[in-house]
Amino acid sequence: MGLIATRNTQLSNQVHPALAYCAIWIAILWLSMVEGGQASLVGLAPVNRELYKESHPVAYKCSVIAHTGDNLDRYLLGRQFMVVLIVFVINLSGAPLGGTVLWGLPDAVLDIFLVTGIAMILFTCMVGQLNTQVNASHCMLDYINNLFGLFTLWVAMLIEFSGLLHSSYLVQMFVAWLAGKKIESYEEERTTAQNIFFWVRALGSLFILCGSLAVTLEALFNDQTTMWAGVPKAVSVILFFLLMSVVGLLEGMQIAFFAVSKIPEAERGDSKFAKLTCNLLFKGQGRNLAGFMIGRQLCVVSCFFIVARVTTLNIGQEDDNVFGVSDGLQNFFNLGFLGALVTTILGSISWQLVASAFPIAFLSNPMTYIFLRICLFLEATGIASGAWVLAGIHKKISGFQRDEVYIGTAEERAKNNNKDDSQRLKKTPMAPIPAFNLDSAPPALRKLMELDPVVREFIKTLSERNPDIDLSKVELPEGMGENKV
């Protein structure tokens, strides 16, 4: 705030401090809803929305939109680009200009907090991202039960509709093909017109992505970026792709974690690392889920800081333009949008879409467990513990309560037969649900199903997966018809 008052940021210097103040706080508040909304909408996907239709009407409207068809994937794509744009506005409004002096602070303090970007990282993370994720990871219903959340959802959907980031879908398809798995859609097969519209946007987005990647790599090989002096070109390129992979893994992890947070423990995967990850993440009151979000954000922002150094073009008046483009186009390249677009698609959205399609498989990756441990360690250092304080204040003022107060735990909902849809997370082909005729079952099975809702649901699931099953021909063990059963 001091930098803005003294006109030491780009927006306050070129326009007016008042505009910079308005821009940075509007952006921070919007970023908080974007980040919290993601946690809420992903986490609520498997929950039967009728359970909170009356208590949280706006959250119900958000859920109807986001959980209809493939809209959740569309939302994730548009939301991520919103984050990039919002952070760009925050940096434009609050990032220090070169050679800034403030309040007579020593050069060492200025170097630590301003030159390295730590001040902007902590401000953006703790105020705009972490405290909201801490609350939204457990208070999903209360967090999006407002018109601001609904508006943010619609903006994200509109960005996706533009097609700028549609190449992310192509990456998702490619990864699924390599894994030998099919990405199941919750919508009917696209018509010819819809297919043409989709592929025109996807190919256009791919063209923009390839052009952005080519410009970035060309600048890297020509030492025309803001990468630290002395770092070899090859190392810069390797570091670029390595850090994007780390960011992508962390982005996918949060989607997978939120996706399984509302389903029963028994449905969170059978692999060793899936169990280790979930046991660590959800033990006790689930504090580690919120702790992971803090450590993850610190790790991601740190990676983005280095990626920004690697990808931001630094071409002076005497240097040749990349690929010989005009000065006007080169000035646009220098803004950093191309590197941001590449990182957004290849380092964020694509991984999120894959994690959204295969959350259980994502949990089974040993690297997921390793990076969970790393993120929890970063949170334990306390560098961003202010986020817990801000989250506590926000929760108190807003009156947030944990979701279990309204809808119970996943196990309680299953016991009460509240028809959650945990299968939605697995994206496996589901047979059409036939009419379930209890009268066709043998008397002993009928009685057992009446006595035990779990058995009833299990038999019903079998009939749904096998539409041709004839319950009247189900053979039961001897004595099953007796009361002793």
* pLDDT tens digit sequence for 382-393: 888 888 888 889
Output the pTM of the full model: 0.67
Rounded distance, CA 154 to CA 384, Å? 31
Taking 60 as the threshold, does the pLDDT of residue 14 lie above it? yes
Rounded distance, CA 224 to CA 311, Å? 9
Rounded distance, CA 157 to CA 310, Å? 31
Rounded distance, CA 128 to CA 136, Å? 13
Taking 50 as the threshold, does the pLDDT of residue 156 lie above it? yes
Dihedral sign for Cα atoms in the order 329, 331, 337, 343: positive
Strand partners, 225: 313
Give the pLDDT mean for 258-276.
70
The full length of the chain comes to: 485
- For residues 83-110, one letter each, b for 16 or more C-beta atoms within 10 angstroms of the residue's C-beta and e for the rest, the string is bbbbbebbbbbbbbeeebeeeeeeeeeb
Rounded distance, CA 435 to CA 9, Å? 65
Write phi, then psi, for 457 (nearest 5 degrees). -65, -35
Taking 70 as the threshold, does the pLDDT of residue 239 lie above it? yes
pLDDT attached to residue 203: 93
Report helix, strand or coil for 463.
Answer: helix
- The closest alpha carbon to 206, from 198, 217, 218, belongs to 198
Rounded distance, CA 174 to CA 170, Å? 6
Are the C-beta atoms of 183 and 106 separated by less than 8 Å? no
Rounded distance, CA 485 to CA 468, Å? 27
The CB-side HSE value for 321 (13 A sphere, CA atoms) comes to: 12
Strand partners, 9: 96
pLDDT attached to residue 432: 33
* pLDDT tens digit sequence for 71-129: 888 888 888 778 877 877 787 788 787 777 888 888 888 877 887 777 888 888 888 88
Contacts of 25 (CB under 8 A, 6+ apart): none
Rounded distance, CA 52 to CA 451, Å? 28
- Please give the structure tokens belonging to residue 342: 């590449």
At 211, which amino acid appears?
G
